[in-house]
Structure 1
Amino acid sequence: MVERRSRCVEAIAAVLLALIAGCAACAQPADPYDGDLRRALSQATSDFERQVLTDRRITRAEYEEAVRRYVACMQANGIGFEAVDQGLGYYVYVETPTSPDHNTINPRCQRGTTLLIEPIYTGMVTNPAKADPRDLVAKCLILKGLAPEEYSAGDLAADAAADYRNAPFDGDDPRVRTCHQNPSIN
C-alpha cells in the first residue's frame, strides 16, 4: 500500500512538472509577426526572399540587403533612385527626377527584394507588439511631452480629422511627425 501511494505521488508529481513546464512554454508570448512571416515565405519569388524568411525573422542586415538590391535594380533600369536613412529604423526612397517608367519598373524591382520583406520589417521596427498604431502614436506624443497624460487614440483620430487645428500640439512639429513615422522610436 505504501509502495502504491509512493508511485501515485511520483506520477502526480511528474504530471504537475509536465503541466508547469507546459505552462511556462505557453507563457512565452508568440511573435505577433509569425503569421506574416509564414505567409511571406509561402509567397516568396526569389531565393533571396526564401533565405531571409526561412527562419521567420528579418535582421537589419537582411533588410538592408533587400533595400540594396531594390535600389540597384531601379538604378540599373535608368531610374535615379536612392534609399535614405532618416534615423527612424527604416529607409525611405527618393527618386530624382521622377521617371515616367517608374510605375512599370518599380513593381518588377520590388518583386524578390523588398516587396515581402520591407513591410514586415518596418512593422517589426515601428510596432513590435503589433498594437493599435493610434494607441502607440498617442503614447509617443505623451512621452515626448506634446500631449496631456489622458490623450488617447480617439483624441488622435479626432484631431487628425480636424487637421490638428484643435490638437494640444502643433501638427507640423517634427516630433509629431516622428511619432507618426515610428511611434516605437522612444
Structure 2
Amino acid sequence: MLAGCAAQGELPAPDAADTVDPAAAAPAFEGPFAAEYTTAWQETESQFVRDAILDETVSDAELAEAVERLKACTERHGMHITEYNGGRYTVAPSDVGGEEGNQILGACEKASGEHPLALLHRSAIINPENRDRNELKAECLIRNGAVATSYTAEEFAHDNTTLDFPFLDPASGEAIFWRCNDDPRTGQ
C-alpha cells in the first residue's frame, strides 16, 4: 500500500492508518547505528518506518517501497521524480517550484519514509562500522591524491563548511571530492 499524502495545496502527511503512537518507547537498538535508529524511531510518524527499522536493517525492498511512496506522493502534488539514485533524485520541471516545491519534497520524503530510510540504508552500505564521516572523507581525499597526506578529519570538517579545500590540483581535486562525498570507501 502506498503512503497517502494530502490533497494538492496541503503539505503531505502519513495516512492515518500509517501513523504511530508518538509516546511508544523505542526498542533497545544495539548495532553501530543504534543512535541513528533510535532517532529515526522517535522522529517518525510512520508505522511503515518503524516496521522497516525494527530489525536494524533497511532492506532493498523496504527502500524500494519508500521510494515508490515518495514518487506517488510527489505525483499527487504535481511533481514528477524522473531519476532516483541512493537518496538523490531529479524532479522534472513543473508548475510547482521554489519554496513551495522544496516544502512538498521535504514533506513527501518524511511522509513516504524515504527519509530516514534512504540515509540509514546508504550509511550501512558505505560506512558499516559507522565511523566518523569526516575521517572517511579525509582518508578518501588523501588516498586519491587530492590533498596532502597530513590532511586531517578536523580540517575536512572545517573546509567542508565552505567547500574550500587545499587541493593539490584544483581541477582534479574537486572531482575527487564529489566522488569521495558520494562513496568515501573508494572515491570512485
Q: 1:112 to 1:84 in 2, by over 3 A?
A: closer
Which SS does the other structure have where 1:116 is aligned? helix
Q: Whole-Å Cα distance in 2 between the matches of residues 115 and 105 of structure 1?
A: 13
- Does 1:109 pair with 2:108? yes
Residue pairs, 1:87-166, within 5 angstroms = 90-97=86-93, 99-100=96-97, 101-110=100-109, 111-157=111-157, 160=160, 161=162, 163-164=164-165, 166=166
Cα offset, 1:178, TM superposition: 0.9
Q: Gaps (5+ residues) in structure 2?
A: 1-29
> Does structure 2 conserve the Cα–Cα contact (< 8 Å) formed by 1:170 and 1:176?
no
Q: Whole-Å Cα distance in 2 between the matches of residues 129 and 108 of structure 1?
A: 30
Q: TM-score, normalised by structure 1?
A: 0.66
**Other-structure match for 1:56:** 56
**Other-structure match for 1:27:** none
> Does structure 2 conserve the Cα–Cα contact (< 8 Å) formed by 1:81 and 1:95?
yes
**Other-structure match for 1:66:** 66
Q: Whole-Å Cα distance in 1 between the matches of residues 81 and 130 of structure 2?
A: 30
> Does structure 2 conserve the Cα–Cα contact (< 8 Å) formed by 1:38 and 1:56?
no
Q: Whole-Å Cα distance in 1 between the matches of residues 169 and 42 of structure 2?
A: 44
> Does structure 1 conserve the Cα–Cα contact (< 8 Å) formed by 2:52 and 2:58?
yes
> Does structure 1 conserve the Cα–Cα contact (< 8 Å) formed by 2:126 and 2:185?
yes
Q: 1:31 to 1:104 in 2, by over 3 A?
A: same
Query: What is the root-mean-square deviation of aligned Cα atoms in Å?
Result: 2.8
Cα offset, 1:152, TM superposition: 1.8
Counterpart amino acid of 2:78? Answer: G
Cα offset, 1:137, TM superposition: 0.9
Q: TM-score, normalised by structure 2?
A: 0.65
- Does 1:184 pair with 2:185? yes
> Does structure 2 conserve the Cα–Cα contact (< 8 Å) formed by 1:82 and 1:94?
yes
> Does structure 1 conserve the Cα–Cα contact (< 8 Å) formed by 2:82 and 2:90?
yes
Size of the aligned set, in residue pairs, is 152
Cα offset, 1:144, TM superposition: 1.8
Counterpart amino acid of 1:122? Answer: R
Q: Name which one, 1 or 2, has greater alpha-carbon Rg.
A: 1
> Does structure 1 conserve the Cα–Cα contact (< 8 Å) formed by 2:67 and 2:112?
no
**Other-structure match for 1:25:** none
Cα offset, 1:92, TM superposition: 0.9
Deviations 1:165-184 (Å, cap 9, x if unpaired)? Answer: x4224266422211123213
Q: Whole-Å Cα distance in 2 between the matches of residues 146 and 140 of structure 1?
A: 9
Cα offset, 1:159, TM superposition: 5.0
